[in-house]
Every structure is written in structure tokens, then in C-alpha cells.
Amino acid sequence: MTDTIDLPVEEAAAETPPAAAPRRKLFIKSYGCQMNAYDAQKMTDLLAPAGFDETQSLDEADLVILNTCHIRERAAEKIFSELGKVRAVKNTRRAEGRATQVVVAGCVAQAEGGEIVRRQKAVDLVVGPQNYHRLPDLLRRAEAAPVIDTEFPAEDKFDHLPRAPRSATQARGITAFVTVQEGCDKFCTFCVVPYTRGAEVSRPVEKIVAEVEALAEAGVRELTLLGQNVNAYHGEGPEGRIWSLAKLCARLAEIPGIARLRYTTSHPNDMDAELIAAHRDLPALMPYLHLPVQTGSDAILAAMNRKHDRAAYRRIIDRLRGACPDIALSSDFIVGFPGESEADFAATLDFIREITFASAFSFKYSPRPGTPGADLPDQVPEDVKIARLAALQELLDAQRQAFNAGLVGRTLAVLFEKKGRHAGQIAGRSPYLQPVQVDAPETMIGQVLPVEITGVATNSLFGRLAAEETKRL
């Protein structure tokens, strides 16, 4: 088994002229968050010049990459059951004289490292989220023996990633993710991210601007800026000063073609006055904010090391609503954190009623090895977690439905993204990320247009182009 390597990717790629290499098939599957989805796109773009074309069929793949998530236990366990299937395919293909390389990337790779190869012999390469820019070279090395590369590298992977070809960006549609920040220094006691993604790092402004200019030039109209702690962004500006997320958003909004900006995921303590003001002053910034609170109990917030209490969260929401009355909120919740009593859980329900959320993600607490929460006493029994999650989701779902129903009769700006479900329809997204189906010509795809909302289904809205339909928002 070899360890990490230092050979720069460009040098390695230069050894084999891409034109001469036979084309091979890449099957890549991503789990977990949007940053993983972005990383999977980057891996695909990186492997294209090395001779790989993407396939949706596992059976025909010469290279299989599982881009994994370690956030909750179920996510990690899924990987090992998926690897069982991959191994069967690899064996079948081997019997037919075809080789298959199997890669585990992402956060399980980072957390488990060599353990993955010990548990599943079909795996050829384990590569962490900060090292995948070395993939072409690592794959060559892994032909001889399994390779593990989970060291945090000295170089910045973004400097070694190619820009997506224009055709690939166009095929991905008019919305795009851009990682602007990675890692986390907050150390919430339930969370593996500081261990799997490492310390907080912000990308320099100019590099982000260049990436976004290329996306916009290829037709992208909406950006979601990604980071595990995105609103703690503090990247170097072109003049050598540190820029905030608010300043970055204002700069990106100036890029021709960029109509909408979103950012995720944020920590309440990093919602500074400038960012709150941006929700008032920057029309491109969508009035929809994902701001995880996790729990409404002050005791559990403290045990989670969230570093704020419920009153502080409430104050931020009041200021945001003051700055942008239309803003809708989304959040993450964890039930059954160690020590969570019935009273703590009741406080969470009460807090949800007090704030009201348009949407939310909620989870049973899952003890993650190596995090402080896993060693706490008073772990909550599974049946209690299940019951609390059901009660929480019932309340959140009722709030989501009430929010959606409240939009009927209102006119919302919709960015049209693609053909709709039925002939003559096109589909887009509201400012609140809901899919909206409208009878309109395909020529309107790519535009932001006012739509009067006429109906609501479980997961989408219906509407008609509003009177001023030719006016671009």
C-alpha cells in the first residue's frame, strides 16, 4: 500500500497526451451535501482530459467513484452496502477480461482511510475531499496496489482543478454551485465536518470571480455559493484586503448574466450586520436563508457548543425580517442529542412555532466516532428519537404547507430552468426554491419573469405569467 504523493497533476497529465488515450467510462455517485455534488462535477471535469466520459451505468464503468458523506451513521453504512454491489460488478467484469478501478472519495474516505480497503478489498483508491485534484496520478499508482491519500495537502486543490468545458456547464443547466469556503472551526459537539473537511479556508475573490465569469458566459444565471460555514467567508480581495461574504455577493452580482445569488450553509453567529443589510440592498440575493439552529433548548444549544442561545437566534431573525420583510427561513434540526429531556424537546417545538420556517431538514442524532457528543452520558433511546422526529416533522411540514398556501395569489419572480412536466409547460424556481410549473414557450427558459401563483401541490407550485410578462425582472 503506498501513501500520499506530491506529483503535481499537470505534470502527470502531460505524460499521456489526452488525444491518444483510449476513452473509458466513469460512473460517479455523490452522497450528502451540495458541496459533495460540486466536488463530483469537478472530478468529472478533471478526469475528462485523462480519457474518461461519464456514464449512468455501473456495469459499463471502467472507473467507479463513490463520493461519500460521513455526516450521519446511515450515510456511512450505505457506502459499504453500495461497495458490495460494486464489487460484484467488478468481479463479473474481471471474468469478462475488463478491469474496473474503484475509488472511495469524500468524507467517509477522509474519516476511515485505510480501514475502507481492509473492509472492502474491491477498493483501489481512497481519496479525501482535499486531495481529489491528484486523481489522474493516484489512479495510475493504484493500478499496482491500493492507494490511500487523506493527508491535508499543502497546496490548494482549486489551483489544480481545470475549468469545466463550456459544453459541460451548459449541460448542467442555468443554476450552478460554486465552493467559496471550505472547512469549519466551530466544533459543534455532534459534527464530523471539522475533522473530515479540516479548518476553515476561504478562496480568494479573484479566483471565484474568474470561475463565475466563465459560468455566466456559458449561460449560468443563478449561483449558490457553498461553504460548510459560508457566511464566515473571509477571502483575500484583489487589493490584498479581506472581503466578507456580503462584499463577495455584491461583486458577483455585477457579473453580466448573474441574476440570482444564494449561499449555504450558515452559522447564526456569522450573520453580521453587513450580510443582513445585503438582504435589503442587493436585489440578486434571494430572500431565502438556510440558517440551522438545531434545537430550541438553551441547555442543548450549550451542550452542542453552538455558542449562541435561542434569544440570540431570535434577534438575528428579527433583524433579517426588518431588513427584508419577504425573507423566508429554512433550518436544520437534530432531535435526541444526549441529555435532551422532554422539556428540551418541547422548547424546540415552541421555538419553531415562534419563528416559523418555510422549510427544514431534521435528523435523529447520530453519535459520530471522534466527536465529543458520542462520549456524552444520557444518550437518548432510539424509540424516543423516532417519536420526537415524527412530532417535529409534523409541525415543520404544517408550517411548510402553510407557507406554500400563502403564496397563492401572489406574484413571484421565477427563473425558468427547463421544460415542464407536460407539453407546453416550462419549469422554474421561485425565490424560495420551490419548483414552479407554468404554461409558457421554451424560449423563456433562462429568463426571470413574474408569475402569479395559482395553485400548490405537495412539492411544487403552479402559476401563470403575470401581466407584465415581457418585462425581465
Question: Residue numbers of the site for ligand 5AD (CB under 6 A)?
Answer: 71-72, 190-191, 292, 294, 332, 334, 363, 365-366, 368
Say which entry of ligand 5AD, ligand SF4, none residue 35 contacts (CB below 5 to 8 A, set by partner kind).
ligand SF4
What CA–CA distance (Å, rounded) separates 373 from 187? 11
What CA–CA distance (Å, rounded) separates 342 from 164? 50
Q: Which is nearer to ligand 5AD, 177 or 416 (CB)?
A: 177
Q: Which is nearer to ligand 5AD, 181 or 366 (CB)?
A: 366
> According to the binding rule CB under 6 A, does residue 70 interact with ligand SF4?
yes
What CA–CA distance (Å, rounded) separates 418 from 420? 6
> According to the binding rule CB under 6 A, does residue 197 interact with ligand SF4?
yes
Q: Which is nearer to ligand SF4, 202 or 228 (CB)?
A: 228
Say which entry of ligand 5AD, ligand SF4, none residue 428 contacts (CB below 5 to 8 A, set by partner kind).
none
Pair 36, 26: CB distance under 8 Å: no
C-alpha cell at 295: 434545537
Q: Which is nearer to ligand SF4, 192 or 232 (CB)?
A: 192
Tell me, rounded to whole angstroms, the distance of Cα 176 from its chain centroid: 11
> According to the binding rule CB under 6 A, does residue 35 interact with ligand SF4?
yes
Q: What are phi and psi of 95, to 5 degrees?
A: -60, -25
Report the amino acid identity of residue 164. Answer: A
- From the list 63-71, 291-299, 348-356, 359-367, the region that binds ligand SF4 by CB under 6 A is 63-71
> According to the binding rule CB under 6 A, does residue 266 interact with ligand SF4?
no
Nearest approach in angstroms of CB 328 to ligand SF4 is: 23
Contacting residue, 106, 227, 336, 373, with ligand SF4 by CB under 6 A? 106
Say which entry of ligand SF4, ligand 5AD, none residue 196 contacts (CB below 5 to 8 A, set by partner kind).
ligand SF4
Nearest approach in angstroms of CB 246 to ligand SF4 is: 24
C-alpha cell at 88: 460484484
Residue number, nearest CB to ligand 5AD: 332
Question: Rounded to the nearest 10 degrees, how much is the dihedral formed by the CA atoms of 58, 64, 69, 75?
Answer: 40
Q: Which is nearer to ligand SF4, 129 or 268 (CB)?
A: 129
Longest Cα–Cα distance of the chain, Å, equals: 67
- From the list 157-165, 172-180, 193-201, 425-433, the region that binds ligand SF4 by CB under 6 A is 193-201
What CA–CA distance (Å, rounded) separates 367 from 72? 8
Say which entry of ligand SF4, ligand 5AD, none residue 368 contacts (CB below 5 to 8 A, set by partner kind).
ligand 5AD
What CA–CA distance (Å, rounded) separates 296 from 48? 47
> According to the binding rule CB under 6 A, does residue 36 interact with ligand SF4?
yes
What CA–CA distance (Å, rounded) separates 138 from 307? 40
> According to the binding rule CB under 6 A, does residue 230 interact with ligand SF4?
no
Residue closest to 88 by CA, chosen among 97, 76, 100: 100
Say which entry of ligand SF4, ligand 5AD, none residue 385 contacts (CB below 5 to 8 A, set by partner kind).
none
Residue closest to 191 by CA, chosen among 31, 369, 386: 369
Say which entry of ligand 5AD, ligand SF4, none residue 40 contacts (CB below 5 to 8 A, set by partner kind).
none
Pair 211, 326: CB distance under 8 Å: no
Coil vs helix vs strand at 441 = coil
Residue closest to 128 by CA, chosen among 193, 169, 173, 67: 67
Nearest approach in angstroms of CB 331 to ligand 5AD is: 8
274: burial class by Cβ within 10 Å (0-12, 13-18, 19+)?
A: middle
Q: Which is nearer to ligand 5AD, 181 or 294 (CB)?
A: 294
Nearest approach in angstroms of CB 131 to ligand SF4 is: 14
Q: Which is nearer to ligand 5AD, 44 or 295 (CB)?
A: 295
Coil vs helix vs strand at 316 = helix
> According to the binding rule CB under 6 A, does residue 107 interact with ligand SF4?
yes
Nearest approach in angstroms of CB 370 to ligand SF4 is: 13
Q: Which is nearer to ligand SF4, 67 or 430 (CB)?
A: 67
Q: What angle do CA 116, 119, 124 make, to 5 degrees?
A: 55
Over its C-alpha atoms, the chain yields an Rg (Å, rounded) of 23
Distances 360 to 187, 207, 290, 356 between C-alpha atoms, Å: 22, 32, 8, 10
- Residue whose grid cell is 440570482: 260
Q: Which is nearer to ligand 5AD, 130 or 366 (CB)?
A: 366
Contacting residue, 12, 26, 28, 33, with ligand SF4 by CB under 6 A? 33
Q: List contacts with ligand SF4 (CB under 6 A).
A: 32-33, 35-36, 69-71, 106-107, 192-193, 196-197, 228
